[in-house]
Each structure stands twice: as structure tokens, then as C-alpha cells.
Amino acid sequence: MASPPSTSMPRRGRGASYDPPNRFAPTRHEAVDDGWWQQATPERLATEVAEERARSALAWNTSPDLPFDRSLNPYRGCEHGCIYCYARPSHAYWDLSPGLDFETRLIARTGLVERLEEELARPGYVCRAINLAGNTDAYQPLEAERGTTRRLLAFLLECRHPVTLVTKSALILRDLDLLSALAERRLVRVMVSLTSLDRDLKRALEPRAAAPEARLKVISRLAGAGVPVGTLVAPVIPGLTDHELERLMTAAREAGATSVGWMLLRLPREVAPLFEAWLAEHAPGRATKVMSLIRQCRGGQAYDGRFGQRMRGQGVFAELLEQRFRKTYRRLGFPGDVPLDTTAFRPPRRQADLFD
């Protein structure tokens, strides 16, 4: 595993401490202190936003590990800056780094409602729930300015199309009117991600995501409005957050969550060295133990991306986590999810159809 460069340094409000090289770039450069004066690296980094005109809306997958086969991402990159984010490596496809670039150089996709309208109107389209986001958070801070997620929800409500969301942002409450209307027709399910109830640890792991108590309030508000809401305890980080598993599940259930799931920490590609650099800075006393436990769950490696293994891991420690989860699930009596309605879908009429 590659080690972080000597220029690695924490930035206020950011998760990553450096930019690992883009693995698709033909050349690489490395900063070296040769004794000559160099401009100091800024402690704070501003967020930059570029626009991309969408050529398509839906992204399709055949993964047996996922409960959906289609997703829609309004943004590329995520300002929440979660150091562990499995989506970081995707930023390399846009000639950007999975490190600081992923959380500071964002891409806002435009024209998504139009592209989605075209795709849902195709004669062979079969209605199944769309997972809104998945490679980003649809309610990251940029959404407050752009409003793309809200426009997509309004369009899906018009079409009576089911949708699922996973978020760690309180901004979702802005759209409570749309979510309530979707819920009345069994067209929406929300999962609120919880990682830790420790505010200081949360702040280091997920710098710009909502505080734990704010996420529990989101669960309570959504449940009170009749919106089906569950919790995703993710990622469970061995040696760092695994001891909170039962407390997180209990807090979510008391707030009104009707379902819960969990996922083991994933460290694909560039995420592994980024996470190790984070450990060295924020939890140096636990770093060796954490990485040892992770490797025990990953067949001796930092990551195992095989289907059936990547979400849960293997070995004694991973099996213990699963046993603890199941025992707590039964004790708390989560009711479970109600199936979403796919029968009410009304394909949108494209402009050309109006003259048929």
C-alpha cells in the first residue's frame, strides 16, 4: 500500500489531507522540499463547482450486493468530506484526485430532469425504485444552492415513480412536503446514515455532514410526517466505532426508524492510504489495532471487493458484528420496510407525443 506523501497535512473542515495521484494520468508529480522558498499550503480550501451537461440520467448496475438496479446522482464528488467514502476513487474518471479534489472540486450535473423524462418515456422502460444518489449525497451543501434533488423528487412524484434515498444531511427536511406526498402513495423510502454518536469523532470522520443529534432529529421528523425512514449504520469501523453498534441502533429505533442495516468499512483503491493518513493524524494510538482488525476481516488485505464480501467482510470479527447486529435487531423489534408501489407509474409524455 502506498504511503501518504510528506506534504500530507490536515485542512480545516476537510476529511482528506492530500491528493493522491490520479491513477489514469500519464505522469505524476511529487512536491519535494529542496530548501528553496515555496508558498505555504493554505490551511483552508475553498469549494469549487463546475457544471456538466448530463447526457443521461440513470446509472445501471447488476450488483447482487445492492437492493437497487438503477441510481441517479445529481452531483459528482461530495463536500461532506467523509474520509472513508467508497465513492472517492470515481473522481479519477473526471481527471481529478480522489483526495481533497473529491470534496473541494465538485461537479453539478444540469439537465437531469429532461434526461430522466426521456429515459422514463422509453417504450421498454420497466418501473423499479430509483436510488437517488449512491455515489454522492443528494443533500450535500451544494443542494441548498442548486435544488436539483428537489426538482427530481417533484418530477418523480408527478410520474408516480418510487424512489429511495440515503443521506447524512438535515437538508432533506426542506423537502418534507414532497417526501410526505410520495409517502402517501408508497413511493419513497429514506435511510439516514449513522456512523457515531461521538460528535468529535464524527467531526473528524465526516467534517461537513450533520451532527449525530441532527440526524436523529431527521429520523424523528420524517417518521412523524409518515415518511418511511430507516437507518444505515455505516461504515462500522473495527476498533474505532464498532463498540457503538448497539447504541446507534437503539438511538435510531427510539427516534422512529422502522428498519436498519449495517456495512463494514470499505477501503477500495485510493481510500486505503487516505484512511491510514487520517488514522495517523486523528487516532495514532489506535491506528495499528484498527488496520489489523480490518485486515482480519478482509483476508489479510486492506480491502476485498468481491461480491458477497465487500459489505460484510469475513472471519471471526466480522461474524461477531453480524451476530451482535441480529441480536439487537430482534431485541429492538424493527418492523421492517413496506414494499414500494411500482404499479402506479405514469410514463411522462414527451413534447413530440402531444401532437400524436
* pLDDT score, position 356: 42
* pLDDT score, position 42: 59
Residue 127 identity: C
Strand partners, 52: 109
The CA angle 131-136-139, to the nearest 5 degrees, is 80
Note the maximum CA span of the chain.
74
What is the domain partition of the chain in residue ranges?
49-334
Question: Residue 281: enclosing H or E segment and its boundaries?
Answer: helix 271-282
190 neighbors 227 (Cβ within 8 angstroms): yes
The rounded distance, in Å, linking the Cα atoms of 276 and 294 is 11
71 φ/ψ sector (left φ>0, alpha ψ -120 to 50, else beta): beta
* pLDDT score, position 184: 98
The rounded distance, in Å, linking the Cα atoms of 115 and 117 is 5
* pLDDT score, position 355: 40
Q: What is the pLDDT along the chain (356 residues), one digit of tens a residue?
A: 455 655 567 788 899 989 998 888 776 666 655 555 555 555 678 999 999 999 999 999 999 999 999 999 999 999 999 999 999 999 999 999 999 999 999 999 999 999 999 999 999 999 999 999 889 999 999 999 999 999 999 999 999 999 999 999 999 999 999 999 999 999 999 999 999 999 999 999 999 999 999 999 999 999 999 999 999 999 999 999 999 999 999 999 999 999 999 999 999 999 999 999 999 999 999 999 999 999 999 999 999 999 989 999 999 999 999 999 999 999 999 999 999 999 999 999 854 444 44
105 neighbors 94 (Cβ within 8 angstroms): no
Q: Does domain 49-334 correspond to CATH entry 3.80.30.30?
A: yes
* pLDDT score, position 12: 84
* pLDDT score, position 352: 45
Selection from 249, 235, 120 nearest residue 166 by Cα: 235
Taking the whole predicted model, whether its pTM rises above 0.85 is answered as yes
162 neighbors 339 (Cβ within 8 angstroms): no
Measured in whole angstroms, the distance separating CA 172 from the mean position of its chain's CA atoms is 14
Residue 308 has, within 13 A of its CA and on its CB side, a CA count of: 0
